[in-house]
Structure 1
Amino acid sequence: MDSQRTQNIRTVSARLNSFHSAMYFSETVGRKYAEYGLEPGVEGNLAARSAPMGRVNAGVVSAAYYNYSHSFVASLIPKLWETVSPEDMIRARFEAVSAFMSELFDDREDIALLTEAATELATATAPVLANMDFSGRPLAAATADALAGHEPNTAFEQLWDVATIAREFRGDGHVSSLVTAGVPGIDALMLDVATGASFKPRAAQKTRGYTDEEWKGAQSRLAAAGLITVGEDDRGFDLPAITDAGRDLREQVEQLTDGTVAAAWSALADEEIEALVSPSRTLIKVLAQSGAFPASVFAQPAKKTS
């Protein structure tokens, strides 16, 4: 693919991903999930994202998520479905999205401008979704089926639907690309952390459920391979930093991932994709300024707007 076209697809895809995932850290969302008997945070989010696949076992969930600890997932799935059914969890997720978007946008003076941006983005990417082939993409396919039953109340909820399907579609392709490149899930997570522009190390380890032994093992393995170096943060915790070789490996995986979504994005011309950069930037700035990506979790949340 043309390099500028590819970069624009990556940029818009990353912003759609951020629009989807901002709710994961919301106290409002956590309270909504608590109404269904779930612990806010990791437990509620795990149930919400996996619910479209139904009452599958832990192996299916951890395989689809890829960079979560299987033993951690198995400690929650399928036990979670004794608390709330997948069907009820899908409904809870829609309610949480509505509450989150209302909190984020309803009282803003520029809501007309933001609504226009959300509508433009959702409408313009509709041909991409229509062009998606979900074969071999179990999480994306299940999510798309579940969202087909959602009736969004606002342009922001409509965009969340679009963003969620696009995120899971590229995500399934990314998992395939990691498998092709021979990068295990924990290594992929460690390399992401090592860029310094994503999760903080302790937050990544905790939310994905890895033990200290597993985390240090991956860290040592990647350091020995020359993919990261390991220093210390200001509290004395290990702080991995990616090397040029690590960046090259990540770029190799991203190029493979680009190929998995190229057919879907072929529905839009270069100039149509480029036109999505501005409205997506407008919306992601609101998320970043709202504190949707907390500094306790992310190393540099401001990069979400770039």
Structure 2
Amino acid sequence: MDSQRTQNIRAVSARINSFHSSIYFSQTVGAEYAKYGLEPGVEGNMAARSAPLGRVNPGVVSAAYYNYSPNFVADMLPRLWETVTPEQMVQARFDAVSAFMAELFGDRDDIALLTEAATQMTETLAPVLATMEFAGRTLAAATADVIGGHQATTAFEKMWDVATVAREFRGDGHVASLVTAGVPGIDALMLDVATGAGFRPRAAQKTRGYTDEEWQTAQTRLAEAGLITVDKDDRGFDLPTITEAGRDLKEQVEVLTDGTVAAAWSVLDDETIESLLSPSRDLLRVIAKSGAFPSNIFARPEKKAG
């Protein structure tokens, strides 16, 4: 990372990511998806996030998600579309976001401050979204299309809309960067787990649908490559820890990812980007304290970037 500007874009992007992904483990959101016959958690989230792509083959979703097991995705899709349509799930996610944001922010004493923070984020990031070039970014493009038709009613719903497009835009760039660096999806997931700042190992394996054999094979491969070491946690499960070589590889990918979003962010000067740090921090504190990222799933939920 070669500049304070890049550091600030990464920090804001991570907080945007957390704002978006805070819905994934909510019982309130799961209850909205259950109205359509879906199991809360992985099944509901799979249908909701992939719904903008329409009724596509599982391979399309696997390619877009990148770090999910293709067999796991193929087992869920298109089976889910026999229960609910993609169009219904687009609306279901908007309804779920509305309910979740009302629960998260509705009766707080500092609602005026937080509303101002969300509004500042949304208005400041609007030119960034307007400058985004979606060619080659399948999931981001599809997501932006459906969000473009959403009539958000609160500052927090509007912020979620903006955060979601920005998150998927950088995410598609990150996938392209991983491909360029030659890092398979399961390896990218495990390297992230090994930092100790995201998913716990078993939670990552379960939510992404990898078998024990697939997980062990990847773990052994990365250990032999010197990218992680493997110890045991207090329950006797394998606990991967990233090495300096692993961190270097992750940083190489992040530098490539920075390049994929630089043009969109070029419409904001350094001072304006820096001005987003405070409001994004205020919103992230609320999310972190709400328990949106459960400690049995995330090692350090307050650091989770999605």
Pick the TM interval, shorter chain.
Answer: over 0.9
Counterpart residue identity of residue 56, structure 2? V
Using the TM superposition, give the Cα deviation of residue 251 of structure 1 relative to its aligned residue in structure 2, in angstroms: 0.1
Contact 1:284 1:304 in 2 (8 A): no
Is the aligned partner of 1:271 residue 2:277?
no
Counterpart residue identity of residue 127, structure 1? P
Using the TM superposition, give the Cα deviation of residue 302 of structure 1 relative to its aligned residue in structure 2, in angstroms: 2.5
- Runs of 4+ that moved beyond 4 A: none
Is the aligned partner of 1:112 residue 2:112?
yes
Q: Deviations over 1:221-267 (max 9, x none)?
A: 00000000000000000000000000000000000000000000001
The percent of aligned pairs where both chains have the same amino acid is: 76
Q: Deviations over 1:109-153 (max 9, x none)?
A: 110100000000000000000000000000000000010110011
**What does residue 98 of structure 2 align with?**
98
**What does residue 31 of structure 2 align with?**
31
Which structure 1 residue ranges, 5 or more long, are not aligned?
A: none
User: In structure 2, what is the Cα distance between the partners aligned to 1:301 and 1:51?
Assistant: 27
Is the aligned partner of 1:157 residue 2:160?
no
Query: SS of the residue aligned with 2:231?
Result: strand
**What does residue 174 of structure 2 align with?**
174
User: In structure 1, what is the Cα distance between the partners aligned to 2:303 and 2:124?
Assistant: 24
**What does residue 17 of structure 1 align with?**
17
Q: Deviations over 1:76-129 (max 9, x none)?
A: 011100100000000000000000000000010110100000000000000000
Counterpart residue identity of residue 181, structure 2? A
> TM-score, normalization: structure 2?
0.99
**What does residue 78 of structure 2 align with?**
78
**What does residue 238 of structure 1 align with?**
238
Counterpart residue identity of residue 247, structure 1? R
**What does residue 257 of structure 1 align with?**
257
User: In structure 2, what is the Cα distance between the partners aligned to 1:188 and 1:65?
Assistant: 12
**What does residue 195 of structure 2 align with?**
195
Using the TM superposition, give the Cα deviation of residue 304 of structure 1 relative to its aligned residue in structure 2, in angstroms: 4.2
Contact 2:128 2:268 in 1 (8 A): yes
**What does residue 67 of structure 2 align with?**
67
**What does residue 144 of structure 1 align with?**
144
Is the aligned partner of 1:49 residue 2:49?
yes
Q: Deviations over 1:134-185 (max 9, x none)?
A: 0000000000001011001100000000000000000000000000000000
User: In structure 2, what is the Cα distance between the partners aligned to 1:96 and 1:140?
Assistant: 20
Query: SS of the residue aligned with 1:231?
Result: strand
User: In structure 2, what is the Cα distance between the partners aligned to 1:10 and 1:263?
Assistant: 14
Listed as ranges, the matches of 1:122-141 within 5 Å are 122-141=122-141
Using the TM superposition, give the Cα deviation of residue 2 of structure 1 relative to its aligned residue in structure 2, in angstroms: 5.1
Using the TM superposition, give the Cα deviation of residue 60 of structure 1 relative to its aligned residue in structure 2, in angstroms: 0.1
Query: SS of the residue aligned with 1:18?
Result: helix
User: In structure 2, what is the Cα distance between the partners aligned to 1:46 and 1:4?
Assistant: 36
> TM-score, normalization: structure 1?
0.99
Q: Deviations over 1:242-294 (max 9, x none)?
A: 00000000000000000000000001000000000000000000000010110
**What does residue 226 of structure 2 align with?**
226
**What does residue 283 of structure 1 align with?**
283
User: In structure 2, what is the Cα distance between the partners aligned to 1:109 and 1:7?
Assistant: 32
User: In structure 2, what is the Cα distance between the partners aligned to 1:205 and 1:303?
Assistant: 19
User: In structure 1, what is the Cα distance between the partners aligned to 2:221 and 2:127?
Assistant: 43
User: In structure 1, what is the Cα distance between the partners aligned to 2:303 and 2:180?
Assistant: 28
User: In structure 2, what is the Cα distance between the partners aligned to 1:177 and 1:304?
Assistant: 20
Contact 2:298 2:304 in 1 (8 A): no
**What do you get for the CA RMSD once the two structures are aligned?**
0.9
User: In structure 1, what is the Cα distance between the partners aligned to 2:101 and 2:80?
Assistant: 26
User: In structure 2, what is the Cα distance between the partners aligned to 1:176 and 1:212?
Assistant: 27
User: In structure 2, what is the Cα distance between the partners aligned to 1:236 and 1:30?
Assistant: 31
Counterpart residue identity of residue 56, structure 1? V
Contact 2:198 2:304 in 1 (8 A): no
C-alpha change, 1:140 and 1:194, in structure 2 (3 Å) is same
C-alpha change, 1:2 and 1:268, in structure 2 (3 Å) is farther
Contact 2:231 2:239 in 1 (8 A): yes
**What does residue 215 of structure 1 align with?**
215
Counterpart residue identity of residue 285, structure 2? K
Counterpart residue identity of residue 266, structure 1? S
